[in-house]
Structure 1
C-alpha cells in the first residue's frame, strides 16, 4: 500500500469515528429528552443521527476502496467530540437550550475535522474528495439548523 493511501485511510477513519461519535451523541440526546413537547427537537436529532449513519457508510466504503480496514469505534482521544459525553448531564435538568449549545459545539468540532481533512497535503482521489466536501456541506447545514434552534430557545428564555 502506498504511503499516500495509508494517510488517506487514517484521515478517513478519523472522520468515520467522528460520525460514530455524532450518532452516539444524538441518540443519547433523543433518549434524554423527557418533555413530550420537544418532539420537533427529537426529530431534528434523529435526522442528524441518520445523516451521520449515511456519512459513516460512505466513508467506510472509501476506506475499503483504498484497501484499508474501516474504523468501527468512536474516537478514543475524546478531544474532538468529548462534548457528547456531557449530554446526559445537561439533560438532567431537561435544559433544551444547554443541549442545543452542546450540539452546536459538537457540530463545530465535526466541521473543523472535515476542514482539517480537506486541508491535509495528500492526493485525494476526486470521488473521495467530493464525498468529504458533500458531507462537510451537509454538516454545515446541520450546524446552522442547530444554531437557529439554539437562538430561538435563547430568545424564548429571555422573554420569560
Structure 2
C-alpha cells in the first residue's frame, strides 16, 4: 500500500504543476488582452493541454485508490506573485509575459524530471504517460522560447 501512496504523491505533484500551468496561461491570456491575438491562441492551447494532462493523471490516481489534488504548488503561488510584481514594474508587454511563461515551463520540466527520477515504483504505463507528457511540455517550452527570442530580436 505504501508504494501506491508514494506513486499517488508523485502523480499529484504533476497534477499541481499542471494546475499551475492552467492558472499561469489563463493569467497570460488576460495580460495580453487586446494586444496579442496569436499569443492568446497559443496560451489557450497550452492551458487546454494541461487540463488534458490533469485528466490523464487523475485517472491513474483514482485507479490507485488515491485522492486527486485540486490545488497548485507553493512555487506556483510564488511564481504568480512574481508575475504580479514584474507586471507592476515592467508593464504587460509581450516580452515580459513570454518570459514569465518560459519560467513556468522551466518549472514544469523540472517537476516532470523529478517525477521520472523518483524512488517510487513507476509501472511501465505510468512511466510512459509521464515521459509522453514531459516530451509534449518540452515542445510547448520551446515554442514559448522561440516566440520570446523572436520578439526580442525584433525589438533590439
What TM-score, normalized to structure 1? 0.90
Shift of 1:12: 0.5
1:11-43 CA distance string (max 9 Å, x none)? 11011011111101100110121333x100111
State the aligned residue count. 154
Q: What is the rounded CA distance, in whole Å, between the counterparts of 2:95 and 2:104 in structure 1?
A: 14
Shift of 1:4: 1.1
Output the aligned Cα RMSD: 1.5
Q: What is the rounded CA distance, in whole Å, between the counterparts of 1:47 and 1:7 in structure 2?
A: 31
Q: 2:103 aligns to what?
A: 105
Shift of 1:120: 0.8
Alignment of 1:36-47 (within 5 A): 36=35, 38-47=36-45
CA contact under 8 A between 2:20 and 2:76: conserved in structure 1? no
What TM-score, normalized to structure 2? 0.92
1:84 and 2:84 are equivalent in the alignment: no
1:12 and 2:11 are equivalent in the alignment: yes
Q: What is the rounded CA distance, in whole Å, between the counterparts of 2:115 and 2:12 in structure 1?
A: 11
Gap regions ≥5 residues in structure 2: none
Could you tell me which of 134, 137, 140 is aligned with 1:136?
134
Gap regions ≥5 residues in structure 1: none
